[in-house]
């Protein structure tokens, strides 16, 4: 119960890694705001977590005012806000030949600017409780696969934002900001993408070492 009575916003938590984070937070005593684009999956997640422990907000993060609405929902539902997990992300292929400026801007809008907007909107509440922010990055933040160029840049920018705010907000507001950069995670959406590409149901069981040095990819 290390998170007893804490209130946490977790973006992209209807599925995958975000849903796993939400489950663990509630198991540790927290109440959570579930967020995503998949209304039915979100409702199922809230029902699984239990009455009074979760509320759902369905909206595309780059929408004007979405960050403010998430913060307002947390405070209205549970009376406070202790932490933000910026997990939601747009994951798609692209390289220098296939990426145009409009697509690149979209990637940055979702993966870098939306987390910034939520941190900014949440800061007045986080300051009250010396709260914290966890940004979910990617191993691709360090350099990136050739076919994940815009995604990798967006996560690299998020990593720099994390370092900048981790210094500034701790000194000025007592708010911690950290980032983790996981490797390849087998989420529901990732599994579906590979099925759409024609791979078998157990495609992840025998991956080349260059993609999975440990012989497997991560589960949420």
User: For residue 201, what pLDDT is reported?
Assistant: 78
User: For residue 4, what pLDDT is reported?
Assistant: 97
Active site residue 151: yes
Catalytic-role residue among 56, 151, 161, 169: 151
User: For residue 185, what pLDDT is reported?
Assistant: 81
Torsion sign (Cα): 62, 63, 66, 67:
positive
User: For residue 194, what pLDDT is reported?
Assistant: 73
Count CB neighbours of 46 within 10 A. Answer: 20
pTM above 0.85, yes or no: yes
With a cut of 70, list the residues of the chain below it in pLDDT.
none
Tokens representing 171 are 């000194």
Q: What is the pLDDT of residues 140-197, one digit of tens each?
A: 999 888 899 999 999 999 999 999 999 999 999 999 999 999 987 877 777 777 777 7
Q: Residues near 208 by Cβ (< 8 Å), separated by ≥ 6?
A: none
Residue pair 113/159 in contact (Cβ under 8 Å)? The answer is: no
User: For residue 198, what pLDDT is reported?
Assistant: 82
């Amino acid at each position: 119960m290390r998170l007893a009575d804490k209130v946490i916003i977790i973006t992209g938590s209807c599925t995958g890694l975000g849903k796993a984070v939400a489950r663990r937070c509630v198991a540790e005593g927290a109440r959570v705001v579930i967020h995503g684009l998949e209304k039915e999956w979100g409702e199922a997640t809230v029902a699984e977590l239990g009455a009074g422990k979760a509320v759902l907000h369905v909206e595309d993060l780059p929408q004007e005012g979405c960050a403010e609405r998430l913060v307002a929902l947390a405070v209205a539902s549970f009376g406070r806000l202790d932490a933000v997990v910026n997990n939601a992300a747009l994951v798609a292929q692209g390289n220098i030949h296939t990426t145009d400026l409009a697509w690149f801007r979209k990637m940055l809008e979702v993966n870098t600017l939306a987390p910034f907007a939520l941190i900014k909107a949440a800061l007045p509440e986080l300051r009250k409780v010396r709260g914290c922010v966890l940004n979910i990055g990617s191993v691709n933040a360090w350099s990136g696969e050739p076919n994940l160029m815009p995604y990798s840049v967006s996560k690299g920018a998020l990593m720099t934002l994390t370092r900048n705010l981790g210094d500034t907000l701790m000194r000025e507001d007592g708010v911690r900001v950290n980032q983790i950069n996981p490797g390849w995670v087998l989420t529901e959406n990732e599994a579906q993408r590979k099925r759409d590409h024609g791979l078998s149901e157990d495609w992840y069981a025998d991956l080349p070492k260059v993609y999975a040095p440990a012989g497997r990819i991560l589960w949420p």
